[in-house]
Amino acid sequence: MPKKKWWKESVVYQIYPRSFKDSNGDGTGDLKGIISKLDYLHYLGVNVLWLCPVYHSPNVDNGYDISDYRGIMDEMGTMADWEELRDGLHSRDMKLVMDLVVNHTSDQHRWFQESRSSKDSPYRSYYIWRPGKDGKEPNNWSSEFGGSAWEFDALTGEYYLHVFSKNQPDLNWENKTVRYEIYDMMRWWLDKGVDGFRMDVINMIAKHPDLPDAPSVDSSPYQWGGQFFINGPRLRYYLREMYVKVLSKYDIMTVGETRWVDADMARIFVDEYRHELNMLFHFELLELDYGPSGKWEKKAWELSDFKRILSDWQKKLADSGWNSLFLSNHDHPRMVSRFGNDSTYRVESAKMLATLLHTLQGTPYIYQGEEIGMTNVRFPCIEHYRDIETLNMYEEGLKNSKDLKELTEVICEKGRDNARTPMQWNDSSQAGFTEGTPWISVNPNYQEINVEQAQQDQNSILHYYRKLIDLRRRYPLFVYGDYRLILHKHTRIYSYLRHWEEETLLVILNFFEESAVFTLPERVTFKNGRLLIANYSDINEKIVAEDLNELSLRPYEARVYLLD
């Protein structure tokens, strides 16, 4: 039986600050903009705000390249603004989670500037430096953003490792001084009132000490070396040390972003008795539509795989761990465009997907704009895009003579900028995001899809989210109930039971635009049922068992019944 914790009962709202709300007309969202919308977040019903990086940064990767962990980015505001945000959240009984980016820093960070100044610098071993090999890079690893994962620095004649951009050198976690600097920084923020951390690519901090070449799978000079820098040999030691030195001293929540982790591995990370992390963001589900060559290759996803993966995580983390429930974030396309239907059935499919996320065991995460059904964007040309990963892929694609139309299509479908267009507040100029020119263009559909319109429509996606959040608050069953999949082999319907104490929840979801027939399994018995929520408004609230023997579901229909 799961232990009760405040973060298990919470609903988290993720804010990508530069795209949320601009307060001063410079086109970039900022802290004062977020403060101006705290009443909206309280109205929505969320009780934890996860804030993407607002630290000092040159913004090569939109804040994930940090040059000062204890300062606030000028574009975002001041430390006084951050403190006002913290106090505004706490006064509304809401909590603040900050992004912790400690696999790498910016190349403008003081540590790196000192590190590159001399091989004899005391900061040299803060990063991973190696001499070249046979006139080339120390190994053949590719960067996550394309090209080599090594950059030559002429000042000292050696290469430094950067798994991401060349402007994001990787920290050397083998160095105890580095780790203790990080722990001291974490305590500093926690003492200022932070309620937890989302830990960016945290399972990449432990590299294989020999930094061996990656196996070659194609003719490229650079190969993905993740098996040597993900889930490395000392990762568990570092996480437990972090817990002992920092996390154990505070009542906070932690969630780690972890690639290349399945449910069996996750049980170790989040086991409540091992004291490493509370939750993980895993990508087994979000990589369903990745082709053999990765993200930029299209592949159709199957509901059978979707159910298998979610059920595996639900079952294996049920006893001593906890799930993070999400289908989108700042690095992934909009969930209604990816797993639903963002045209004819946008409203119905967005509500159906929300029903899924808020009726599984775990903590739901809402990415800004998800609650109004924001969609992917189709920009007219590459000049409108801002994401470094997308721009690098496009440039490499052109160098390799890839078809321009295919490149454009895959960017529209999978690019990170889909999630980063400005929040759509109303139908005024620039969607009410800014009075200036936004740092990235607004999605043209803002006149139909915006918060103001959604607030006025009682059948909107926004109001549906408010109802789901309220149900989760009222019924411990939604939070702590166990999970049992039914209709395992149905190709269109995802249905499951949740049970807690004397209550049972039946969740029925049609994942497609075609009608589908739900048949109640004989082993599921009950006398009466009550409809708690549905995404079509013309359904009887009370039922008897016979009513569910055979049920015709409309496109993307979702129903949740309380059975007795």
Which tokens hold the place of 105? Answer: 């820093």
Distance CA 371, CA 44 (A): 9
Distance CA 285, CA 308 (A): 10
- Phi, psi (rounded to 5 degrees) for 503: -110, 145
> 61, 75, 257, 284: which is the annotated catalytic residue?
257
Name which of 64, 66, 56 is nearest 16 in CA terms. Answer: 64
> Coil, strand or helix: which one is 174?
coil
Name which of 297, 289, 330 is nearest 418 in CA terms. Answer: 330
Distance CA 227, CA 207 (A): 9
Locus of tokens 């004899």: 120
Locus of tokens 């082993």: 523
End-to-end Cα distance, the chain = 21
> 144, 170, 200, 387: which is the annotated catalytic residue?
200
User: What does the DSSP assignment read for 86-146?
Assistant: HHHHHHTT-EEEEEE--SB--TTSHHHHHHHH-TT-TTGGGB-EE--BTTB-SS-BBPTTS
Distance CA 127, CA 112 (A): 7
Residue 257 annotated among the catalytic residues of the structure: yes
CB atoms near residue 82 (< 10 Å): 24
Please enumerate in sequence order all residues whose Cβ is within 8 A of that of 75, keeping only pairs 6 or more positions apart, or say none: 18, 26, 28, 30, 59
Locus of tokens 């993740």: 226
Confirm if 418 and 378 have CB atoms less than 8 A apart. no
Catalytic residues: 200, 257
